[in-house]
Amino acid sequence: MATILVTGGAGYVGSHCCLALSRAGHKVVVYDNLSNGHAKFAKWGPLEEGDIRDAARLGEVFAVHRPDAVLHCAALIEVGESVKFPERFHDVNVRGTQTLLDAMRDAGTSAFVFSSSCAVYGAPQRLPMDETHPYAPASPYGQNKLDAERLSEAAAAARGGSFAHLRYFNAAGAAWGEGIGERHEPESHAIPLALFTLLGRREAFRIYGEDYDTRDGTCLRDYVHVLDLADAHVRAIERLLGGGASLAANLGTGDGVTVRELIAAIERVTGQRVPAIPAPRRDGDSPALLADNSLALRELGWSPTRGIDEIIADAWKWHSEIEGLQ
């Protein structure tokens, strides 16, 4: 059993990773400032409140818990907000990552798994996108993720450590039976926004653009269940702790869904009609994002096991029945 410090462990992806790590027999320590996380989501180990930019607080936590590895999920994630407030995003996502890496160095912790993003690639130059795809971030958020990866690489080279950069495509779904799921404020992700219309929390779901070069004119995205993402993190941590080589890997299904297909799937799963209205394209939206996940299969033995209907069913159960109880 290893001790894993999970930054952002009270957030969406982080809490599901804590669940998966605990199920795999590891000890989890959550480090979160609760600005976007939820104390009730820290169910599988102690919650240490703190900011990743706070070197002194990080030093205290490392000294007490002596983690064998760090899983770094803490970040500001709203792409549109990153365009409005690039300095704030850089401060948290880049400077915060450097402060965390420095704390690892001082504590002698060398295994680092990073919650990265397909946003490092920017607009796709080819589909599906593999790890050799050129880097051209289209937002400060994407640039933050790429900069943090480079900091991690430099730190590992300097001290002989190891890293795994896991580049998510579209995380979705929930472990509703464990009382955790997606809860962002504000919410910007398509599946919860569409479900909110069925719950009376929004009047309509907006389809941003219907004239893209896709099979039905709407944007195509690669949705991967958050529990499948969590499984990949466990595999990456165990790889590094077992002496395996560093890597960067895409985490997606390789099976894209358009916005229109997503609406149809939600209606199929819930038995309700989604009130959807057309809207103009949004600046920065790519027509299609689709992962080539063959490297994750080859190096981690990972492949997603849950499809879009299960993703929606779990998200619907969470938002319609469980979220209000938490």
Are both 18 and 167 inside the same structural domain?
Answer: yes
17 and 158 housed in the same domain: yes
Same domain, 30 and 162: yes
Same domain, 19 and 80: yes
Q: pLDDT for 234-261, tens place per residue?
A: 999 999 999 999 999 999 999 999 999 9
Structural domain boundaries enclosing 45: 3-171+225-251
Same domain, 125 and 20: yes
Same domain, residue pair 151 and 290: no
CATH code of 212's domain: 3.90.25.10
Judgement on whether residues 108 and 230 belong to the same structural domain of the protein? yes
Please enumerate in sequence order all residues whose Cβ is within 8 A of that of 34, keeping only pairs 6 or more positions apart, or say none: 10, 49
pLDDT tens-digit readout, 29-82: 999 999 999 999 999 999 999 999 999 999 999 999 999 999 999 999 998 899
Domains: count for the chain: 2
Q: What is the reported pTM? A: 0.97
- Examine the domain organization and report whether 201 and 243 are in the same domain: no
User: Do residues 88 and 189 both lie within one domain?
Assistant: no
Domain match, 246 and 271 both: no
Q: Is the peptide bond before 140 cis (omega within 30 degrees of 0)?
A: no
List of E strands, the chain: 3-7, 27-32, 47-49, 69-72, 111-117, 162-168, 170-172, 205-208, 220-221, 223-225, 247-251, 257-258, 276-279
Which residue in 121, 141, 212, 223 is the catalytic one? 141
pLDDT string in tens for the chain (326-residue length): 899 999 999 999 999 999 999 999 999 999 999 999 999 999 999 999 999 999 999 999 999 999 999 999 999 999 889 999 999 999 999 999 999 999 999 999 999 999 999 999 999 999 999 999 999 999 999 999 999 999 999 999 999 999 999 999 999 999 999 999 999 888 889 999 999 999 999 999 999 999 999 999 999 999 999 999 999 999 999 999 999 999 999 999 999 999 999 999 999 999 999 999 999 998 878 899 999 999 999 999 999 999 999 999 999 999 999 876 66
> Does 210 lie in the same domain as 132?
no
How far from the centroid of its chain's Cα atoms is residue 270's Cα?
25
List the CATH number of the domain containing 96: 3.40.50.720
Whether 12 sits among the annotated catalytic residues: the reply is no
